[in-house]
Chain A
Amino acid sequence: GAGVSQSPRYKVAKRGQDVALRCDPISGHVSLFWYQQALGQGPEFLTYFQNEAQLDKSGLPSDRFFAERPEGSVSTLKIQRTQQEDSAVYLCASSSVPGPNNYGYTFGSGTRLTVV
């Protein structure tokens, strides 16, 4: 597709429920990132994939968060046993090249997760 597509656009989960958020990056983009954005704050890094390899997951806030990109294209961010503090917008971004100093990332519109 022309841009980064994320689904669902909105998700309401009951506390304790598991959720899965999907990201379809731009076709051929090797780098894929997940960010979490709380209300009124800037996005915060969660994890980074280069193709199918998860090279950095240092931003994942707990072991309830898990991300995968098995075939190097679509990625899924899974949150187990959701808590209210997980309520945020989850943004996915992709880039055509790997490595440092490449900041021309394309972001999706995000998934707004509300945990009740």
Chain B
Amino acid sequence: LAKTTQPISMDSYEGQEVNITCSHNNIATNDYITWYQQFPSQGPRFIIQGYKTKVTNEVASLFIPADRKSSTLSLPRVSLSDTAVYYCLVGDGVTGGGNKLTFGTGTQLKVEL
């Protein structure tokens, strides 16, 4: 299984851009990189997914360098409601039988006024 490493916690202030970097040195060729967000007492929520270069949606951007050994989730102009745990995941490349999402411990982002 491809493993990920990300900071345990980050602090920010409202209106700032937050970048959370994740390393995944042994990512497989057919693995995608996905980020989930989890609020207390809720299940994780899909944020964004990418394979290479840059992906942007209405919530975030995902930057992936050419070697794909790391990725950066960028949250523009965060607000208090962005306080949550953010998980970086990569697939294990299993074909046919479904996927085991490997979450790790995630990054606790705390946004303050």
| Complex Cα gap A35–B32 (Å) | 20
Flag if B32 contacts A101 (CB, 8 Å).
Answer: yes
| Interchain nearest-CB distance for B91 vs A (Å) | 6
Residues of A within 8 A of B41 (CB): 109-110
- A interface residue count range (under 10 / 10 to 19 / 20 to 34 / 35 or more): 20 to 34
Q: A93-B43, A103-B49, A110-B43 are in contact. Are A41 and B94 (CB under 8 A)?
A: no
Judge whether A72 is part of the interface by a CB distance below 8 angstroms: no
The proximity string for B residues 84-107 relative to A, scoring 1 for CB distances below 8 Å and 0 otherwise, is 000101010111111111111110
Q: Which of A90-116 contact B (CB under 8 A)?
A: 91-93, 98-110
Query: Which A residue's beta carbon lies closest to that of B91?
Result: A101
With a cutoff of 8 Å between Cβ atoms, the chain B residues found around residue A66 in the complex are none
Complex Cα spacing A4 to B95, Å: 25
Asked whether, in the complex, the Cβ of A102 is within 8 Å of the Cβ of B43, the reply is: no
Distance A95 CA – B77 CA, assembled complex (angstroms):
30
User: How far does the alpha carbon of A91 sit from the alpha carbon of B106 in the complex, in Å?
Assistant: 16
Chain B nearest CB, measured from A60 CB (Å) = 12
Q: How far is the CB of A19 from chain B (nearest CB, A)?
A: 19
Nearest neighbor of B90 in chain A, beta-carbon distance: A103
Task: Provide the A39-71 mask, 1 if CB < 8 A to any CB of B, else 0.
Answer: 011111100101000011011000000000000
A100 touches B99 (CB 8 A): yes
Q: Is the Cβ of B46 less than 8 Å from the Cβ of A104?
A: yes
Q: Which residues of B contact A33 (CB under 8 A)?
A: 98, 101
- Name 6 extra pairs, CB < 8 A, besides A33-B98, A56-B98, A102-B99: A45-B100, A56-B97, A98-B98, A100-B94, A101-B91, A103-B89
